Every structure is written in structure tokens, then in C-alpha cells.
Amino acid sequence: MNRLITPMTAAFFFVTANAFGVTVIDFRDSSFNPGDSSFFSTQLSIDGYEISLEVSATPGHIYWDNVDGYGVWGGENDEIDTNEVLSLSFTPPSGVDLLIQQIQITDLFYEGGSFESGYYALDGGIPTLFVQDNTSAPNGAYTIALTPTAFNQIVFSANPQASGHEFSVQGLTLAAGTIANPEPASLILLSSGLIGFAAWRLKQRIGKRQGA
């Protein structure tokens, strides 16, 4: 019986789950400089897969520098603050999921006796609060570590409940992969195991009846 159960169990876990590595995107690189445009788009190569990156900012235009990365030109001319929003949209190739693993923030300081904060939201979801927790982080650096999550858009906004809280977006850590699906061979294996188990049970019942 154990010889039948073992392949059946294996069949449930024999899946295809391709991952194409991890890519760290550093927005401080000069290739991400949008100039004075209020809209910016480019093409990124994620381990051989082309990803379309679109960036927009409201109400001001995008601000960029090679120290902090992206901000919004407005209240603070190099950071996201007050009612400003910075959104980044990604279009991965068909059949591939883009996974976000980390978000790198800068200019998020401990100032005036309080920790600065901000929000991010994935794919139009509820904004998630992030708060600096290091009083001496260089350049206000802060990393948001996430369970790898499939996404197509990320939106950054300031904390409207906290005056004077502002930040910049330094970069993202991404991975590309496919959703895990059962292999056809594993389904055949599972079916064979079930048929074999049923045949074994039938043989046992017939044997009991004949011995009665």
C-alpha cells in the first residue's frame, strides 16, 4: 500500500514554478532621469524579459536626482509630500507575473521628535503605512520588505495626517516568474495512483469474500 501512496503524494507537489531571478532597480541611475516632463516611460529588461515602466506624478511634475531617486516637484521640490502622488505602472509579458520583494525609500527621517511616514498601495489596493524606525539612518534610507507579491502598479503618497512628512523613492527589488501549475505528467501520475489504489482495494475485498 505504501508504494501506491508515495507517488500519489508526490503528484500533488510536482508543479511548474519558473523564477527568473531577482533584479534591483535603482532609480538614482541617470537612465531614469525624466527631465522636466510630467510623464515618463521607458523599457526595462528583467532577466531577459522586457518590462514597460510608466511613471506619473500629480499635481506637480516628476523630480529626479542621483542622490534620492524619484520625488514630486511641489511643496518640497524633491520629495513626495502633502497631497502629491507618484505612480509607477509595469506591464510584464504575457504569462509572466512581476513580483515585488522590496521598496527602497530615502529622505524618510526622524525629525522634530517624530518619525516620518508615508504610504504605498499595490494595484489600487488599500494604502499601506510605512514609518521610519531608525533615528540615524543615512540619508533617511528605509527598506520595506514584502512577501513576494504579484503586482502591476505601485502608488506612493504622503501621510495626510502628518504635516511635514515627506520622502523619495530610491528603487525596487523585483523578480519575474510564472504562477505554479500542475505538470500534465503529474496529473497522469495522480490518476494512475488512484486507479491502482482502487484496484488494490477491490482485490482485497474479493479475497475476503472468497476466504469467508
Nearest to 165 by CA among 66, 86, 102, 82: 82
Residues 78, 25 share a domain: yes
Residues 193, 158 share a domain: no
CB 70 within 8 A of CB 62: yes
Retrieve residue 134's grid coordinates: 531608525
pLDDT values of the chain reduced to their tens digit, one per residue, 212 residues: 332 222 222 222 222 234 457 889 999 999 898 887 778 888 887 777 788 888 899 888 899 999 999 999 888 888 999 999 999 999 888 888 899 999 999 999 998 889 999 999 999 999 999 999 999 999 999 999 999 999 999 999 999 888 889 999 999 999 877 545 444 444 444 445 545 555 555 566 665 555 65
- Plot region of 148 (φ>0 → left; ψ -120 to 50 → alpha; else → beta): beta
Residues 88, 68 share a domain: yes
Residues 87, 143 share a domain: yes
Residues 33, 91 share a domain: yes
The answer to whether position 116 is within a domain reads: yes
The answer to whether position 153 is within a domain reads: yes
Q: Domain residues for 25?
A: 20-181
The answer to whether position 7 is within a domain reads: no
Residues 126, 194 share a domain: no
Residues 37, 68 share a domain: yes
Residues 166, 201 share a domain: no
Residues 139, 189 share a domain: no
What count of residues does the chain have?
212
The answer to whether position 62 is within a domain reads: yes
- Plot region of 51 (φ>0 → left; ψ -120 to 50 → alpha; else → beta): beta
**Rounded distance between C-alpha atoms, residue 181 and residue 178, angstroms:** 9
Residues 195, 176 share a domain: no
Residues 35, 50 share a domain: yes
CATH of the domain at 170: 2.60.120
The answer to whether position 43 is within a domain reads: yes
Instruction: Give the count of domains, the chain.
Output: 2
Residues 188, 162 share a domain: no
